[in-house]
Chain A
Amino acid sequence: AQSVTQLDSQVPVFEEAPVELRCNYSSSVSVYLFWYVQYPNQGLQLLLKYLSGSTLVESINGFEAEFNKSQTSFHLRKPSVHISDTAEYFCAVSETAGGSYIPTFGRGTSLIVHP
């Protein structure tokens, strides 16, 4: 069975600084990887996903994540954060084998952007 570890529960950063949110996974088979964002008092929404092909995937609001198979990681990065990026970020993994693609979510990382 797959598992996800988000190494940081909270990441404080100043506005316009770069940020990296770490995600490592464990699985015995190939995986699909996702990052979701949860703004205060809202449900989770998909930020970006890796299914196949290029290991670098991007979102429309400047985030990117790189799938590293050898390190079993899918870290989320942004070169310059805004106050509006303050939110909870969840990494999720689902296994390609079996065909059900039921995701497992990490515990989440709270990104706090200070002015």
Chain B
Amino acid sequence: DAGVIQSPRHEVTEMGQEVTLRCKPISGHDYLFWYRQTMMRGLELLIYFNNNVPIDDSGMPEDRFSAKMPNASFSTLKIQPSEPRDSAVYFCASSLRSSYNEQFFGPGTRLTVL
């Protein structure tokens, strides 16, 4: 398996623009997680899905952030409109509940909002 795939790897955009981050989890995994990592706040859990259904989105910072998982092999995290304080590395991870949710992380998307 290729592991968790994220695209793009780097994104530079201007304030006010819409940003869409993409994730393909490992085939067969039943959980998908979106994290944000910054120097100031460390690793933050934004939202997670179980069998494509959002379970807990309490970590989503505000209404500008939204996430979807239309099928078991694809998820998106959208920021609209983007702001400079959204600059961070965004990670997607997937896991199997039967493996105690040992997490497999993607390489991340480094987002810079100017």
Whether A and B are associated in the same complex: the answer reads yes
Measured CB to CB, the residues of A under 8 A from B are 32, 34, 36, 41-46, 49, 51, 90, 92, 94, 99-103, 105, 107-108
- Given A43-B91, A108-B43: A102 touches B102 (CB 8 Å cut-off): no
Q: Give the chain A neighbours of B103 by CB distance below 8 A.
A: 36, 44, 46, 92, 103
Contact in complex: A101, B100 (CB < 8 Å): yes
Q: Give the chain A neighbours of B64 by CB distance below 8 A.
A: none
Interface of A is mostly: loop
Measured CB to CB, the residues of B under 8 A from A are 4, 42-43, 45, 48, 50, 56, 91, 93, 97, 100-108
State in angstroms the CA–CA spacing of A103 and B108 once bound together: 19
B109 to A: closest C-beta gap in Å: 10
Contact in complex: B97, A100 (CB < 8 Å): yes
- Given A90-B43, A105-B43, A107-B42: A42 touches B107 (CB 8 Å cut-off): yes
Contact in complex: B48, A43 (CB < 8 Å): no
Contact in complex: A94, B42 (CB < 8 Å): no
Contact in complex: A44, B101 (CB < 8 Å): no
B11 to A: closest C-beta gap in Å: 15
Q: Give the chain A neighbours of B105 by CB distance below 8 A.
A: 36, 43-45
State in angstroms the CA–CA spacing of A36 and B35 once bound together: 15
Top-10 shortest CB links A-B: A43-B105, A101-B101, A107-B42, A44-B105, A101-B100, A105-B43, A43-B107, A32-B100, A43-B106, A43-B108
